[in-house]
Chains A and B, each alone.
Chain A
Amino acid sequence: MHISNGIINGPVSLAYAAIAVILLALSINRARQDLSDRLAPMAGLVAAFIFAAQMLNFPVLPGVSGHLLGGALAATLVGPWVGALCVSVVLVVQALIFADGGLSALGLNIANMALLGTAVGYLVVVGLMKLLPRNASGVGTAVFVASVVSVILASQGFVLQYYLGGDVALTVGYGEISAALAGVHALIGIGEGVIAAITVTTVAKVRPDLVYALRGQRLTTAVTASPRRLVLVGIFAALVLAGGVSYFASSAPDGLDATTLKGCTVDEATGEITGGQCIAQTAKEHELAGSWLGDYGISGIEGTTGVAGVIGVVITFAIGLAIFWGARRRRARGESAPSTSETRV
């Protein structure tokens, strides 16, 4: 998921760094209001939790594993400001101390994962909580949807960055990239959503007072707009960004044959899924996600890309809900899983 140096050009990277600095300053300010002088130890432990959660891989499909981004999860548990701050600190530490994610791309990564992901996740949760019951399963459902939406939008953040500062003009239109990334990230988002939902549900059952999104006054003061409108806006925004934008932005599509995709799979097979946003990985996971849709959108029927994106989102939502409900029941055994997908926890 981490963008490295050289993918986005200097000026755009710098502009994003400036935006990140300003928004982080705001987050620090608001986080202090939430936690006062408990900020450093509490947020530090939460950041350690997010870091630890990101290090644990989970299976997305047989042979493919992903890891949490944690934006929506953090926002639900500790609020948007502390959440954004914690995810940002994780990213800074990963860039400086673990050399993960380019130094010059730090602003880009913070903007996508820490700021966009957290903010969107929080807004969706707040909106949905107006409709759902204020209990463990309600907040679990809300955080599931919020995770999917926030992961998809974080990927769209990258598309925007590439549009603004990508060095190479592509034959594939931004619409296609956008749709492909949205499709893949809907899948990743479902994985993230299921885990985030169970995590939050567990916390909410034991200590509901620790779930920021369940605290009464916060919610009512944070949201002034009418609830129904907010939910609709949230879902609509997800659909627009995942599919609608690609519909309008789609230029003449060009061939993207399966051989390049397969070549990519081989290239990447050795690595863990450390980055979900790179185009190669996207292509690879997308193939696994459901190639008929991918082919449908990209194979060149003018104007259908956006539709494919929307369909992709809707279907993945449906699958996600199915998995979510499935996971709530006692799981049945008997299906063999490939040993390669065993994760290290």
Chain B
Amino acid sequence: MGAGHAHAMYVHQHSPVHHLAPEVKIVVALAFTITVVATPREAVVAFGGYALMVLALAVVARVPAAWLAKRSLIELPFVATALLLPFFASGPRVDLLGLSLSVDGLWGGWNILVKGTLGVLIALLLAATTSARDLLVGLDRLRAPQAMTQIAMFMLRYLEVLADEARRMRIARVSRLDDPRFLWQIKGFASGLGTLFLRAFERGERVYLAMQSRGYTGRLPAALHADSTATARQWAAGAAIPLVAVVVLLLFGGYPWKP
């Protein structure tokens, strides 16, 4: 797996969504997701509205539908959960195609299915329109702890390097007649993992030395991230998305104050 994983999600395009500041996109994605999760499961129309919004965003961002569909397969285990719930849930039951299904369970399964799918699609749109580096810059500007954004930055930088080392070690192992099948490989695999850790840790020490040699004293200089932060206009444009979602929620969400 390793290879290509580290930058597989970003879809290079020039679209208004791509050019939006990363911190705006992160906040928008989070707010949109929370709105979706907060929507009562019976509000089918509202979910339809959200789906249309996601679709519209995908079109504006020029993210291919096939790409979205393929990537959203990551959600498959939860689809299975959703399919199972009607059998497990308690409460009144209906007969459907000769099966006795729980009404509550059907709603529950639908709930997981629709919220999970919309959530994955929103996250995919975020990942497709924002490079990994920009996402970290965005988190940094949102005052995420520097310790975490920096660790993430180093992680992404060296993921490929480590995956390459792992691949080379595996080839070396197989070349000496190790049989990479089933349980028999587990020892070679795991001691390879131990070696990989040693290499990772020792590389960490060397990276630190190289950083120290260039004057590092524990903080990355702020000047590195000084380029264009979000403007008020970008924030306003971004805020429109969760606002529309909230309006959809209020209109079709089945709350008492529904007009």
Contact = CB atoms under 8 A, between A and B. Distances in A.
Given A6-B111, A85-B147, A341-B182, A268 B204 contact: no
Contact of A10 (B38, B41, B191): B38
- Most central of A10, A38, A196 by chain B CB within 10 Å: A38
Given A40-B151, A45-B204, A198-B191, A98 B127 contact: yes
B135 A48 contact: no
Contact of A203 (B75, B116, B197): B197
A112 B197 CA distance: 23
A274 interface: yes
B154 A13 contact: no
Interface of chain A: mostly helix, strand, loop or mixed: helix
B225 interface: no
B81 interface: yes
Nearest to B169: A345
User: What 9 pairs across the A-B complex have the smallest Cβ distances?
Assistant: A44-B154, A202-B194, A6-B115, A168-B108, A5-B119, A37-B218, A337-B182, A198-B190, A280-B80
A303 B156 CA distance: 49
Contact of B186 (A48, A167, A194): A194
Interface residues of A, number: 98
A199 B118 contact: no
Interface of chain B: mostly helix, strand, loop or mixed: helix
A45 B182 contact: no
A6 B85 CA distance: 13
A172 interface: yes
Contacts of B158: 44-45, 48
10 contacts: A5-B33, A40-B220, A45-B200, A88-B148, A98-B127, A168-B85, A195-B190, A267-B79, A331-B187, A343-B180
B29 A344 contact: no
B74 A99 contact: yes
B119 A102 contact: yes
